[in-house]
């Protein structure tokens, strides 16, 4: 794809009248390099002058916006010095107070300028706001309609931008100039037929209205068009990636399923579930195809993904290839290694572990065995993608807990083979929005059935006042033969934290409350052999209670462990809590997960704990987690090579996302190279803005 000729929107910002080098540098440091970057620098919110509250109508504890003129300001010295700004709107006066950066605030305001101030109203010798948000609206009599309309855009800013004159007022000025001078050079980015069929506003009109809306109906139409564009081009990237994979050739045909696979399945102490068998049929069909497999395997904790992955790896081995499994942490890689080695102990398949902490001689021997092909299944961490690692014939790549890896890391491992098949796994159920975006180019398999005879884990949320009763309950269960985890968020106590830490608590418990029990400790700072020995002792029931940090979050399978106590549960993420709960409930005993919280909780923390207490459905939990964390953190769009979303929120704009996906895939199906006359604007915009990411588009 070749880029189109440069338009004014691609000019650097210093081409704008009034933008010298110093101001241009401030914009560039904020990521605004071109005129087009500015056009797509959207307001963070809008001030509706019709909803502004007059000062004489203010009441304490209200959250309001006031538009008022600066009357005077001063620094008041005292035990706690403060900057006091007095503003008025003709109906009364309001004191605005700041307790920090007093010299900065003293230089920040000018008598007579108008401000929009937002915050909570208080009362102390008069009405006041402490540390209000504010935006400058100009000086009375300027007559600039750009600052005085009914709907006023308020822009994201920072101290460096503000010092360069780019507060909301400065952005309004510069964008008014940009749209006036170069607005007619904004080209359409989606086919005209598509925009007309969906009733979307023209792009020029939408970009003008997002900055300077005449009314809220026009603003809503502009936001709808621009949200659609963001989602459409994200899905276009996904559609082109998927098309490339489907058209690609040169993959490996794994023709046979042989004796090794049959013997493994027969040796399992349990029968495969219907869901596991269904997923294996899907994987088998992929592996027989000449196109490389790109499949996402998701299943809730304890659903049996590891067995499915091992059978898949054995198929690759029986066809003469090596299989590599990459895990995000050493302890998880070690657990996979021990589990798989044990399951294959009668089958004479060479399994090796490659992690960062190994000595030079041991590592050298392992690299030789991998390069010669002697090692058939290679399990490791990021160490697998180092330049020194050469595979003999890598045919299958398995990525576990893949959301912890970036696109380039997955690509680097796949490039060590010749178009190897790819299976990515996650025990974190993925909301529908992510399966349409981040994973939209992968075929999806779901293990939606737990092994037989599993009893649902009973989950309770208790505050610290019940801790003694909880531990008495734990003692009684352990005395009857059960085993228990007690999980803490930190390894050691810190001066900056009041959290109870695993090491100190382990020592205290061993000497007091649980002194008559066999109790162990495991955390991330222990040496690999120490962690391995401790986990092995726990599995053999030589230890009754295991005090731990979150290193046991994934991959630990001890069927007799039936109690999970999570201390300071309010400090854990929702998905992380769900993963921890998944460490119990794997045997025939009734299992319990008890979440212990400390102190006053935020609304978000309360929602997390309430959600865990009422549901064990991983997909429901994932949807709640997405809503709490927002798409930016949950999606990790940069990690996945997807464009950043400025306006659209896939979790809230799900119907628009579905529409954008349908249209993007329809366009790629009809015009795979985007060469038709109707598609040229789409092609040019895509290449200009996504070419670098498009280079990552072939990564699974």
Q: What average pLDDT does the segment 521-533 reach?
A: 79
pLDDT at 698 over 60: no
Phi-psi region of 67 (alpha: psi -120 to 50; beta: other; left: phi over 0): beta
Query: Would 401 be classed as within a structural domain?
Result: yes
Q: pLDDT tens-digit profile of 276-322? A: 999 999 999 999 988 889 898 988 777 888 899 999 999 999 999 99
Q: pLDDT tens-digit profile of 433-473? A: 666 666 676 788 888 887 777 788 999 999 999 989 999 99
Q: Containing H/E element for 670? A: helix 654-670
Of 572, 591, 615, the residue at which a domain comes to its end is: 615
Q: What are the distances in angstroms from CA 65 to CA 51, 120, 166, 288, 520?
A: 8, 9, 21, 64, 57
Task: Please report the pLDDT score of residue 687 as a whole number.
Answer: 82
**CA 278 – CA 283 distance, rounded (Å):** 9
Question: In this structure, are residues 561 and 545 in contact, taking their beta carbons and an 8 Å threshold?
Answer: no
Nearest to 296 by CA among 398, 431, 405: 398
Q: pLDDT tens-digit profile of 37-75? A: 999 999 998 877 667 889 999 999 888 889 899 999 999
Nearest to 309 by CA among 318, 298, 319, 321: 298
Of 154, 171, 200, the residue at which a domain comes to its end is: 154
Q: Which strands form 483-487's sheet, in the order they lie side by side?
A: 458-463, 592-597, 561-567, 483-487, 545-548, 519-522
pLDDT above 90: percentage of residues in the chain? 42
Query: Would 67 be classed as within a structural domain?
Result: yes
**Do 410 and 470 have their domain in common?**
no
Query: Would 515 be classed as within a structural domain?
Result: yes
Beta-carbon count within 10 A of 449 CB: 18
Please give the radius of gyration of the chain, using alpha carbons only, rounded to the nearest integer: 30
Of 615, 650, 684, the residue at which a domain comes to its end is: 615
Predicted confidence band at 141 (pLDDT cuts at 50, 70, 90)? very low
Q: What are the distances in angstroms from CA 677 to CA 130, 681, 686?
A: 57, 8, 15
Beta-carbon count within 10 A of 435 CB: 15
Task: Please report the pLDDT score of residue 249 as a whole number.
Answer: 60
Task: Please report the pLDDT score of residue 700 as a whole number.
Answer: 37
CA 21 to chain centre: 37
pLDDT at 210 over 90: yes
Q: What is the CATH number of the domain that holds 593?
A: 3.40.50.300
Predicted confidence band at 158 (pLDDT cuts at 50, 70, 90)? confident
Q: What average pLDDT does the segment 530-541 reach?
A: 86
**Do 539 and 589 have their domain in common?**
yes
Question: In this structure, are residues 429 and 298 in contact, taking their beta carbons and an 8 Å threshold?
Answer: yes
Percent helix, strand and coil across the chain, each to the nearest 5: 45, 20, 40
Q: pLDDT tens-digit profile of 316-351? A: 999 999 999 998 878 788 878 888 988 898 898 999
Give every CB contact of residue 505 below 8 A, 6+ residues apart in sequence: 486, 488, 547, 567
Query: Would 517 be classed as within a structural domain?
Result: yes
Task: Please report the pLDDT score of residue 385 as a whole number.
Answer: 85
DSSP state of 339: H
Task: Please report the pLDDT score of residue 695 as a whole number.
Answer: 53
**Do 475 and 420 have their domain in common?**
no
Q: What angle do CA 83, 84, 86 make, to 5 degrees?
A: 155
Q: What average pLDDT does the segment 227-247 reach?
A: 85
113-123/63-76 β-pairing: antiparallel
**Do 480 and 552 have their domain in common?**
yes
CA count, 13 A, side-chain hemisphere, 492: 5
Phi-psi region of 399 (alpha: psi -120 to 50; beta: other; left: phi over 0): beta
Q: What average pLDDT does the segment 570-599 reach?
A: 88
| Mean pLDDT over the full length of the chain | 85
**Do 422 and 463 have their domain in common?**
no
Residue listed under structure tokens 């044990």: 342
**Do 315 and 418 have their domain in common?**
yes
Query: Would 95 be classed as within a structural domain?
Result: yes
Q: pLDDT tens-digit profile of 165-199? A: 898 888 998 999 999 999 999 999 999 999 999 99
**Do 537 and 591 have their domain in common?**
yes
Q: At what angle do helices 330-343 and 305-318 cross, to 10 degrees?
A: 70
pTM across the whole model: 0.67
**Do 389 and 485 have their domain in common?**
no
Task: Please report the pLDDT score of residue 541 as a whole number.
Answer: 93
Query: Would 252 be classed as within a structural domain?
Result: no
Task: Please report the pLDDT score of residue 500 as a whole number.
Answer: 56
pLDDT at 258 over 90: no
CA count, 13 A, side-chain hemisphere, 411: 11
Q: What is the CATH number of the domain that holds 148?
A: 2.40.50.140
Which of 10-19, 212-221, 285-294, 400-409 has the lowest average pLDDT?
400-409
Task: Please report the pLDDT score of residue 359 as a whole number.
Answer: 82
Query: Would 597 be classed as within a structural domain?
Result: yes
CA 625 to chain centre: 10
DSSP state of 555: S
Residues spanned by the domain of 370: 259-288+304-426
Higher pLDDT, 140 or 380: 380
Task: Please report the pLDDT score of residue 402 as a whole number.
Answer: 59
DSSP state of 7: -
**Do 284 and 420 have their domain in common?**
yes
Q: What average pLDDT does the segment 117-129 reach?
A: 89
pLDDT at 4 over 60: no
**Do 146 and 272 have their domain in common?**
no
Q: What are phi and psi of 122, to 5 degrees?
A: -120, 180
Question: In this structure, are residues 584 and 592 in contact, taking their beta carbons and an 8 Å threshold?
Answer: yes
Task: Please report the pLDDT score of residue 637 as a whole number.
Answer: 44
Q: How many domains does the chain have?
A: 3
Task: Please report the pLDDT score of residue 641 as a whole number.
Answer: 54
Query: Would 499 be classed as within a structural domain?
Result: yes
Higher pLDDT, 620 or 187: 187
Q: What are residue 116's DSSP bridge partners?
A: 67, 135
Beta-carbon count within 10 A of 28 CB: 16
**Do 394 and 273 have their domain in common?**
yes
Q: What average pLDDT does the segment 78-89 reach?
A: 92
Q: pLDDT tens-digit profile of 656-683? A: 988 999 999 999 999 988 888 888 889 8
Q: What are the distances in angstroms from CA 56 to CA 50, 94, 112, 119, 257?
A: 16, 9, 20, 16, 81
Task: Please report the pLDDT score of residue 108 as a whole number.
Answer: 87
**Do 411 and 540 have their domain in common?**
no
Q: What are residue 595's DSSP bridge partners?
A: 461, 566
């Amino acid at each position: 794809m070749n880029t189109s000729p440069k338009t004014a929107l691609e000019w650097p910002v210093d081409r704008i009248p009034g933008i010298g080098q110093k101001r241009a540098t401030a914009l560039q440091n904020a990521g605004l390099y071109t005129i087009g970057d500015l056009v797509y620098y959207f307001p963070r919110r809008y001030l509706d002058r019709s909803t502004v509250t007059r000062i004489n109508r203010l009441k304490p504890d209200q959250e309001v916006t006031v538009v008022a003129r600066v009357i005077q300001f001063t620094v008041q010295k005292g035990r706690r010095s403060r900057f006091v700004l007095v503003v008025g709107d003709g109906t009364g006066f309001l004191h605005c107070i700041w307790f920090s950066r007093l010299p900065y605030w003293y230089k920040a305001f000018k008598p007579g300028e108008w401000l929009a101030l937002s915050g909570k109203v208080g009362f102390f010798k008069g009405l006041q706001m402490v540390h209000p948000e504010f935006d400058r609206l100009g000086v009375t009599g300027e007559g600039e309609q750009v600052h005085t309309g009914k709907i006023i855009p308020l822009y994201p800013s920072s101290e460096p931008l503000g010092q360069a004159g780019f507060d909301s007022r400065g952005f309004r000025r510069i964008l008014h100039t940009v749209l006036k001078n170069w607005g007619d050079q904004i080209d359409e980015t989606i086919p005209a037929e598509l925009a007309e069929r969906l009733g979307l506003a023209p792009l020029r009109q939408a970009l003008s209205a997002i900055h300077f809306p005449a009314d809220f109906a026009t603003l809503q139409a502009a936001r709808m068009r621009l949200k659609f564009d963001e989602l459409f081009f994200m899905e276009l990237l996904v559609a082109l990636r998927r098309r490339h994979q489907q058209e690609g050739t040169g993959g490996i045909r794994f023709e046979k399923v042989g004796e090794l696979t049959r013997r493994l399945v027969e040796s399992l102490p349990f029968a495969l579930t219907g869901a596991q068998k269904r997923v294996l049929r899907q994987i088998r069909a992929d592996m027989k195809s000449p196109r490389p497999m790109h499949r996402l395997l998701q299943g809730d904790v304890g659903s049996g993904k590891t067995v499915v992955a091992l059978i898949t790896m054995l198929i690759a081995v029986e066809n003469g290839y090596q299989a590599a499994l990459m895990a995000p942490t050493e302890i998880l890689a070690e657990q996979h290694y021990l589990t798989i080695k044990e399951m294959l102990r009668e089958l004479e398949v060479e399994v090796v572990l490659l992690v960062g902490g190994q000595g030079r001689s041991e590592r050298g021997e392992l690299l030789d065995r991998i390069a010669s092909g002697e090692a058939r299944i290679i399990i490791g961490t990021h160490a697998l993608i180092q330049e020194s690692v050469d595979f003999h014939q890598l045919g299958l790549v398995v990525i576990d807990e893949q959301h912890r890896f970036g696109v380039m890391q997955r690509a680097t491992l796949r490039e060590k083979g010749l178009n190897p098949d790819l299976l990515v796994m996650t025990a974190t159920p993925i909301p529908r929005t992510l399966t349409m975006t981040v994973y939209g180019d992968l075929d999806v398999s779901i293990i939606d059935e737990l092994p037989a005879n599993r009893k649902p884990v009973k989950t309770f949320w208790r505050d610290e006042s019940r801790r003694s009763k909880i531990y008495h309950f734990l003692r009684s269960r352990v005395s009857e033969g059960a085993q228990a985890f007690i999980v803490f968020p930190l390894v050691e106590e810190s001066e900056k934290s009041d959290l109870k830490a695993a090491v100190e608590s382990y020592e205290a418990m061993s000497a007091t409350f649980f002194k008559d029990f066999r109790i162990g400790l495991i955390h991330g700072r222990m040496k690999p052999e120490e962690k391995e020995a401790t986990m092995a002792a726990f599995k053999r029931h030589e230890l009754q209670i295991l005090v731990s940090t979150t290193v046991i979050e994934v991959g630990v399978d001890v069927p007799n462990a039936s109690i999970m106590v999570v201390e300071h549960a309010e400090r854990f993420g929702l998905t992380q809590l769900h993963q921890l709960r998944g460490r119990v409930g794997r045997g025939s005993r009734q299992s319990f997960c008890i979440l212990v919280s400390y102190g006053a909780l935020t609304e978000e923390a309360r929602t997390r704990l309430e959600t865990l207490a009422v549901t064990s459905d991983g997909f429901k939990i994932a949807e709640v987690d997405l809503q709490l964390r927002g798409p930016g953190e949950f999606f990790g769009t940069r990690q996945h090579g997807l464009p950043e979303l400025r306006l659209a929120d896939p979790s809230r704009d799900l119907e628009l996302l579905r529409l954008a996906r349908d249209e993007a895939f329809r366009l790629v199906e009809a015009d795979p190279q985007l060469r038709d006359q109707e598609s040229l604007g789409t092609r040019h915009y895509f290449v200009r803005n996504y070419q670098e990411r498009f280079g990552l588009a072939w990564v699974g």
